[in-house]
Structure 1
């Protein structure tokens, strides 16, 4: 397929009903997203006389992974959206599981990122400048290193908390989508919710720092939702295993007990490769 044509979405319905439009609308494949590691198709969904741009990732196009069960990445993407929705932060675009031209897969609202936003940088310095947080030093060739930094941005800080909850093993720079209206979205959540600690992220700038009062309140709400009979536990149970739901609840409990952003464990590479 050719590179996807960017089709501006026309209004379909209110934001609260976007998941329904994605799940029930007529899905048409427009092109393939070639730089994706698994099959990812740029599509439109027609619903109630309008049209949305979206991404469709069929389960049949998923590459097997040694540390995740086959055919589960689409469900994990939807589970990440359910947790994001429960936080109230709206960090993951509306995402549903549905049938499509190539079988069951996840369907996610297309987000057009701002071209000029700068959230990551490589700097020739030992310490980050004001407004930036250090990630670590990166090899830039010829025996030289540069400091990799990310913006000291409350939107990223919220995303760092979400990633810790869902145990995101692949938070790369290319998965950060700031928009012209000031919002920030995270995408590509297929390798999440493992029962083992696999957190790999570029958002280590707050490692070991106290959680914000807002984050503590959100985590308390997640803990209630993940308790037996809770609404979030019910939403996740068709998507991930019971052990994975319990591990998610345990991670929330651990974050609340420590009161701090997690730090690299040393048992697993802390930064994904490639980082962008």
Structure 2
């Protein structure tokens, strides 16, 4: 359905930076909801090449798939009503979903949650951005380090109806410079969990062969080389990095 179905546009996500359309993909009487981001709707950025964000989203899914990390929805490149673009499965979230990232009073951080950012709200009260100490969220944080995600906001983290924790909006990934900006710094300086290390081993092997070839279809040569170096480095030193001091480590807005 996602690959060959006819795309019918049903709405637009108006808070997205780039043109992001909700659609239904239908084929042979079957249909599914999806997100469609045409390349022609991408806004130019000063630090990423024009017209490459959709390809980066597909590359991010490929990395997760190859590592056997179930943390990115199925994502493909295909033609659509507004030209070629990224198409991704729509993730429906249950209404009673527990929050994974939250803004709370600084003196009322829930037990088992990790503080990331302290600030002062408009009333002058001390608040903190926190995230859950959740194994599935921890895997997503490891994935972000690998793909050098420059935009891991709280709104880009979804818990699906079947309990999976999934990341979306991966257009700002794979830069050759260190661009990691995330609200998932709670594990900084701690060892990577076993499922992340196992995935890194698969990726390292793949980057000597078929995976590297796949990445050349989505990224520049230098970006693929830097991706391989990050994977090798994390295999040698399997620790979550510390936040950088020379630039902002947090995307804006964080939530």
The TM tier, using the shorter chain, reads over 0.9
1:163-209 Cα deviation digits (max 9, x unpaired)? 00000000001111102211111100011000000000000000000
Q: Is the 8 A contact 1:127 1:134 kept in 2?
A: no
Q: Which has the higher contact order (CA 8 A, sep 6+)?
A: 2
TM-score, with length taken from structure 2: 0.95
Aligned to 1:180: 161
**Partner deviation per Cα, 1:243-265 (whole Å, 9 max, x = no partner):** 11111111111212222111112
User: Quick one: distance in 2 between partners of 1:112 and 1:195?
Assistant: 33
Give the structure 1 partner of residue 39 of structure 2.
Answer: 59
Is residue 227 of structure 2 the alignment partner of residue 248 of structure 1?
A: yes
Task: Report SS of the residue matched to 2:84.
Answer: strand
Structure 1 CA distance for aligned equivalents of residues 87 and 172 of structure 2: 16
CA contact (8 A) 2:106 2:126 kept: no
Cα deviation for residue 24 of structure 1 reads 1.5
Provide the C-alpha distance between the structure 2 equivalents of 1:36 and 1:112, rounded to a whole number of angstroms. 17
Give me the whole-angstrom Cα distance separating, in 2, the residues matched to 1:114 and 1:267.
39
Which of residues 13, 18, 28 is equivalent to 1:38?
Answer: 18
Alignment coverage as a number of residue pairs = 254
CA contact (8 A) 2:139 2:193 kept: no
Tell me the residue number matched to 1:214: 195
Aligned with residue 88 of structure 2, among 108, 112, 122: 108
Unaligned runs of 5+ in 1: 1-20
Asked if 1 retains the 8 angstrom alpha-carbon contact of 2:101 and 2:132, the reply is yes
Cα RMSD over matched residues? 1.4
Contact 1:112–1:179, Cα closer than 8 Å, also in 2: yes
Secondary structure of residue in 2 paired with 1:100: coil
Secondary structure (helix, strand or coil) at the match of 2:3 reads helix
Rounded to whole Å, the distance in 1 between the matches of 2:241 and 2:38 is: 33
SS in 1 for 2:233: helix
Tell me what 2:179 maps to.
198
SS at structure 2 position matched to 1:141: coil
Change (3 A) 1:186 1:153: same
Q: Give the C-alpha shift of residue 127 in structure 1.
A: 8.2
